[in-house]
């Protein structure tokens, strides 16, 4: 039975998969994202950056799997960043940075890029590798200073790409999107479906392969 391993600590990505019928094993990578971004350089295209990060995360997780899991599984690595004003915006990390980010975003639009890397493992060896990025245009609302302060104080925007969510408190301040919503949350279901089809795996087979709830590795 082919297991699905999500190489991400993102609750949003896990929720997307669980709501779509797949309850993945969760294995968080220790990839140094800042170092990798620095190595790519400031001129690297957004899709190249997020795909490189997704590939690194998937590769590290795949190399550390228990042999029993690595005997038959797919590893999914993802990374998301917002492209605005010619630069990529990751996780703000602090309240001040989140406020500055929102002052730039409100009333405007940006492109949320999500890199996906899918590795197929059989008997511990990678037999297939797929890497692809998705892009969704996000049109931001114009929250009041009071609402923005309360949102930042909630802590939600500090640890998410671009300093906002679509599926949480930040959803109040998103006017509309152009593209698939799951890509904004961090994992594009249409894109992932195509990647799985190309390596010969059906969605319905993976529906039957989920672990017990809250299982982590």
Spatial contact of 158 and 91, defined as CB atoms under 8 Å apart: yes
* Closest listed residue to residue 55, CA positions, set 45, 47, 65, 66: 47
**Which residues, at least 6 apart from 26, have a Cβ–Cβ distance to it below 8 Å?**
5, 6, 8, 9, 14, 215, 216, 217
23 belongs to the catalytic site = no
DSSP letter string over 95-147? HHHHHHHHHHHTTSEEEEEEEEEEEEEETTEEEEEEEEEEEEEEEE----HHH
Q: Encoding tokens for residue 110?
A: 């940006």
Positive or negative CA dihedral for 46, 12, 110, 180?
positive
* Closest listed residue to residue 100, CA positions, set 49, 162, 54: 162
Catalytic residue among 79, 96, 147, 167: 79
d(CA 140, CA 129): 35
Active site residues: 79
């Amino acid at each position: 039975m082919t297991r699905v391993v999500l190489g991400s600590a993102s609750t949003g990505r896990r929720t997307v998969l669980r709501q779509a019928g797949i309850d993945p094993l969760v294995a968080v990578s220790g990839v140094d994202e800042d170092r990798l971004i620095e190595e790519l350089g400031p001129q690297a295209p957004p899709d190249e950056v997020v795909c490189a990060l997704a590939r690194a995360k998937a590769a590290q997780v795949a190399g550390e799997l228990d042999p029993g899991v690595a005997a038959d599984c797919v590893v999914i690595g993802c990374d998301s960043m917002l492209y605005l004003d010619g630069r990529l915006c990751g996780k703000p990390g602090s309240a001040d940075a989140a406020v500055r980010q929102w002052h730039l975003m409100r009333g405007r639009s940006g492109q949320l890029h999500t890199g996906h890397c899918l590795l197929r493992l059989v008997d511990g060896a990678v037999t297939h590798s797929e890497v692809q990025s998705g892009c969704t245009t996000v049109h931001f609302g114009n929250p009041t200073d009071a609402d923005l302060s309360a949102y930042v104080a909630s802590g939600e925007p500090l640890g998410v790409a671009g300093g906002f969510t679509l599926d949480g408190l930040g959803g109040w301040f998103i006017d509309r999107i152009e593209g698939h919503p799951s890509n904004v949350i961090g994992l594009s279901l249409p894109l992932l479906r195509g990647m799985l089809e190309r390596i010969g795996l059906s969605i319905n087979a993976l529906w039957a392969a989920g672990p017990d709830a809250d299982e982590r590795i």
